[in-house]
Amino acid sequence: MYFADRLESDLNYSTLLVKDSDGVRTITLNRPERRNAMTPEMQMELISAMEDVTASTCLAVVFRGAGDAFCAGLDLAALQAMKGKTEAEYTEDAEMVAKLFRTLYELPKPTIAAVHGPAIAGGTGLATICDLTFATPTAKFGYTEARIGFVPALVSAFLALQIGDKLSRDLLLTGRIFEAAEAYRLGLVNEVVSAETLDVRVREVTELLTMNSSESLAATKRLMAVQNKAWLDTAIAEAMKANAQSRSTADFAEGVAAFLEKRKAIWTR
C-alpha cells in the first residue's frame, strides 16, 4: 500500500477524510473495512464535500480510497436494509445517487480520481466521471449491477456519453470485471501508471491544473456540461425511474441476499 489508510482530516466527516494542500483538496473515501462501499451517509457526505469544494478556494480535487480498494460500489448490507421501503422512498434514494454523480460531473473545479484498487459498480462511476482518471495496473472496474438483479441505471447515462452505445452495452449487459488496461483502451482511464508513481503523476497533473486560470477552468467545465445538459437531463430522469423500480423487484431481493450469503442467485424466469 502506497499511502496511509488513515489521514489527518481538516474537515470532519464520518465516512470521508478531507485534506487541503497547495491549492488541492483530497477527498478520501474512508471505509477501508468495507472496501469503501457507499452507504447513504457516504453519498450525502460526498455531495456535501463537493458543495464545500464549490464554495472553497481550492483549485483542484483528488478522489482516493483508503485501504486496498477505491470503492466497491453501494454497500449491499445497506441495500438489503432498504427492503420494504415505499416507492417514494426508493425514488428519493435514486435521486440522491443522481445528485451525487451530477454534482461530480458539473463540479466547477477540475477533478482527478487516483484508482489503486477495485472500483466497482457505483465506484466505477465515481472514478470515471471525474475529469481525469489515473489507475494502477491492478485496478479493476466493472458495472456489475446485473449480477445482483439490479439495474446499472444512473452510471449508464454517463457511460454512454463517454464511450458510446455499443461499448456501453457490452459492459452493462455482461457485468464483467475489466482491468485498467482495457479501461484505458475504452477511454475511461486517462493513464495507467505504476503503484509507485501514482502519487507522483497525480501531483504533476495537479500542478499543471493549478497553474491555469481558475476562472477559465470553471468556464470550460460549465461549457462542456451545458453542451451535454439536454441529453443528460433526459437520460438521468429515465435512469432514476429504472433505479427506483429495480429496488422493489424479486430479482433484486434475491441477488442481494445471494451475494451476502455467498451463494449463486436463483433468478425468476
Burial profile 212-236: b = 16 or more Cβ within 10 angstroms, e = fewer? eebeebeeebeeeeeeeeeebeebb
Which amino acid is located at 262 in the chain? K
**What distance in Å separates the CA atoms of residue 40 and residue 91, rounded to the nearest whole number?**
13
> Cell for 82?
432498504
Active-site position among 145, 179, 196, 254:
145
Torsion angles phi and psi, residue 64, rounded to 5: -135, 175
Beta carbons within 8 Å of 191's beta carbon, 6+ residues apart: 134, 135, 184, 201
Q: What is the DSSP letter of 74?
A: B
145: annotated active-site residue? yes
Cell of 203: 501531483
Could you tell me the strand order of the sheet in which 60-65 lies? 11-12, 16-21, 24-29, 60-65, 111-115, 132-135, 191-192
Catalytic positions are 145
